[in-house]
Amino acid sequence: MTTDEPEPGDVARRLLRAADRAALATRLAKRDDPAMEAWPYASLVLLACDHDAAPLLLMSDLSEHAKNIAADPRLSLLIDGTAGRVDPLTGPRVSLLGAAEKTDDARLKARFIARHPSASVYADFADFHLYRVGVARAHFVAGFGRIHWIECAEITFNAAASAGLADAEDALVERLNGQAGLADQLARRGQARNASGWRATGIDPEGIDLRREGSVARADFPAPLAQPGGLDDAVAALLAEARPRQKK
């Protein structure tokens, strides 16, 4: 690996932050039929991330995967970044191994709903709970022959230095969305196909989450954002990086 090539953990984390859904694998809880006990069970879940990139899941107690997690919190999440490839096996994907834990953190719940506005309809139902996943390891495949096991410290982001950003996030998102056309510019930076009607839904130390109806986009900062007051400079640097170089 050259010094100019990003670390696998950083690439895998960007893939995780950009995703809005994942395949969730849990272990079947005890059933009336002993033959079904402990079988792997895969399902589709909506996904958001905390500032340190810990996955957030909103699930009903009535769902099979929530019942499984209640019996055994260990799980795996597959994040698929291969869409649009002629051969999907040449594209990136990461399998996270971790454990889910219920959380009543209002900030995290608001962050999930901002990422998935449709969840506001049922998020406050008594049987729905938010889970924060503590990642233990990750298996990252960047393409043929580019395979890495990644430890927790390599894929999670140390958000302690940006603690003030979490407190200021709502106000920063509102201010960003108040600047006409800015979210659309950021979406183009995130290679969105439709570049109009976008809105920012979240800001973390490494970038900005955007949404337009059923589509999401991600604009990664050139360098981590250390404090809320640095957002304008970070956005300016991001947009400057996106501009094509003029021919001499």
Break the chain into its structural domains and give their ranges: 8-154, 162-242
> How high is the pLDDT of residue 247?
41
Whole-prediction pTM: 0.92
> How high is the pLDDT of residue 6?
86
> How high is the pLDDT of residue 243?
57
> How high is the pLDDT of residue 242?
60
Q: What's the CA gap between 58 and 78, in Å, rounded?
A: 16
Fold that domain 162-242 belongs to in CATH: Split barrel-like (3.20.180)
- In words, the CATH class of domain 8-154 is mainly beta
Q: What's the CA gap between 212 and 192, in Å, rounded?
A: 10
Closest CA to 74 of 137, 160, 157, 145: 137
> How high is the pLDDT of residue 248?
37
> How high is the pLDDT of residue 160?
83
> How high is the pLDDT of residue 246?
41
Q: How far is CA 25 from the centre of its chain?
A: 17
Q: In order along the chain (248 residues), what is the average pLDDT of each group of 10 residues?
A: 76 97 94 81 97 97 96 97 91 97 97 97 97 98 90 92 89 95 89 83 96 94 91 92 50
